[in-house]
Structure 1
Amino acid sequence: MTTMLEIEKIATSYGSSQVLFGVDLHVRQGEVATLLGRNGAGKTTTLRSILGLAPAHGGKISFMGKRIEHMSTDKIARMGIAIVPEGRQIFPNLSVRENLVAFAANRNLSKTPWMLADIYQLFPRLAERADNMGNQLSGGEQQMLAIGRALMTNPHLLILDEATEGLSPLIREEIWTCLKKLRAQGQTILVIDKYVEKLIPLADHHSIIERGKLVWHGDSDRLSQSADIWQKYVGV
């Protein structure tokens, strides 16, 4: 299985304050990987380093076999990385349809790219709300729209940053079901979330970060048998 994203010993700082200390992470094509940890552990900074928003000053980041740690964010995105950001960040003054169409691209050169009809089939609620403005949607509907918008770019790698944060249990289940469908379709996914019990059956392997350092890595079988580990580093 080809490694799509490979992070080696990255170090990232904000000014004089170092946040990441030699973090490693890899995501292979067609798999679901997770990055776990408490708030402030360094998860979002790792994502920002991948996307060029907080450039690493040490280590290597490779995507699709190319070094990207010194690339601009727009070039990295055009290579086929799409993020569903924490806070959703949809356009409030555009309709659901406009939010989706505005991001349409075929960055992975798929023969069957995601189209509006596919997004509406994945999230029927968005079809019902197609003409509503972004600021007229519930939090759950906004999250569905954020995922749909990312898929409309037809990414090689889909990253979800706290995709179920603040959502009702019912909506969270819809998101998990969506991710299972995407996995079955072969979409490569990196998930940052805190619901370990839901991620164990979904993901292939997991990395846990604490105070900017990788403290554990393993597959779902190992994590399911290591409740003490994830309760120590991820539990509230």
Structure 2
Amino acid sequence: MLRLSGVESFYGASQVLFGIDLEVGAGEVATLLGRNGMGKTTTVRAILGLTPPRQGEIALDGQRLDGLPPYRIARAGIGLVPEGRHVFPTLSVRENLIATARGGGWTEERVFALFPRLSERAGQRAGTLSGGEQQMLAIGRALMTNPRLLILDEATEGLAPLIREEIWRCVEALKADGQAILLIDKNIDALLRLADRHHIIEKGRIVWTGGSAELAADEALRHRYLGV
């Protein structure tokens, strides 16, 4: 589904990504792992056209995305749950969902079924929600675009354990429904349980790719690149 081949990205004259190769298959949950500052968010920005690659190719279902403006990449079927949530604070929960809605299987009612507490706060301004509720809303808002690929960038960062578990329950349900997902997160135990494929990035390069069983079995690898 999503394929990055030899992607190189820069901030001004400073190169940040060096030949990134990454894949997410149809219906697959994949991860991009690494310590802070290694290029995870820049990779996401490259996919979305926010930091356009100077070299390499990015394709979704064979359609080239590199070189397209961000709005066309979003329309091609990529939904983002950004780090830091970035909900529309002065709009209600319902208005946040309606703002990004596109025709397809995801509706307001389906999002409320996934996150019942959002239904209870449908008329409440998003800026008054708790951090966990805002994260649920950010996920729901991305789903309302009916994406072929959903990217979650640090979706559980700073959340209470019970809320984190609710987010992981949501990811598990989406996976069971066949949603392709690219996850960036530091909760390795949850990712090993949920993901089919892992990519580890170090200083702008993919240094390892493999399955959950391989990553779980290699303690030295996890300690070297992830610090766990």
Which of 71, 90, 96 matches 1:93?
A: 90
Q: Which residue is equivalent to 2:117?
A: 125
Task: Tell me the TM-score normalized by structure 2.
Answer: 0.98
**Shift, 1:201, TM fit:** 1.2
Of residues 61-70 and 91-100 in structure 1, the stretch that sits farther from structure 2 once superposed is: 61-70
Deviation digits for residues 111-137 of structure 1, max 9, x if unmatched?
Answer: xx1111111110011011111101100
Q: Which residue is equivalent to 2:174?
A: 182
**Shift, 1:87, TM fit:** 0.6
* Structure 1 moving runs of 4+ over 2 Å: none
Query: Structure 2 counterpart of 1:214, which letter?
Result: I
Give, in whole Å, the separation in 2 of the partners of 1:231 and 1:166. 22
Q: Which residue is equivalent to 1:54?
A: 51
Deviation digits for residues 24-70 of structure 1, max 9, x if unmatched?
Answer: 10010001000000110000000000000000001111111111110
- Pair 1:198 & 2:190 matched: yes
- Pair 1:32 & 2:32 matched: no
**Shift, 1:231, TM fit:** 2.2
Unaligned runs of 5+ in 1: none
Which secondary structure state, in structure 1, belongs to the residue aligned with residue 123 of structure 2?
coil
Aligned residues: 228
- Pair 1:155 & 2:171 matched: no
Give, in whole Å, the separation in 2 of the partners of 1:194 and 1:228. 17
Which secondary structure state, in structure 1, belongs to the residue aligned with residue 87 of structure 2?
coil
**Shift, 1:227, TM fit:** 2.2
Query: Structure 2 counterpart of 1:41, which letter?
Result: M
Q: Which residue is equivalent to 1:134?
A: 126
Query: Structure 1 counterpart of 2:26, which letter?
Result: Q
Which secondary structure state, in structure 2, belongs to the residue aligned with residue 79 of structure 1?
helix
Which secondary structure state, in structure 2, belongs to the residue aligned with residue 180 of structure 1?
helix
Which of 66, 69, 72 matches 1:69?
A: 66
Give, in whole Å, the separation in 2 of the partners of 1:34 and 1:231. 17
Which of 100, 103, 112 matches 2:100?
A: 103
Query: Structure 2 counterpart of 1:69, which letter?
Result: D
| 1:191-230 matches, cutoff 5 A | 191-230=183-222
- Pair 1:80 & 2:72 matched: no
Deviation digits for residues 57-93 of structure 1, max 9, x if unmatched?
Answer: 0111111111111000000000110000001010000
Query: Structure 2 counterpart of 1:64, which letter?
Result: D
CA root-mean-square deviation: 0.9
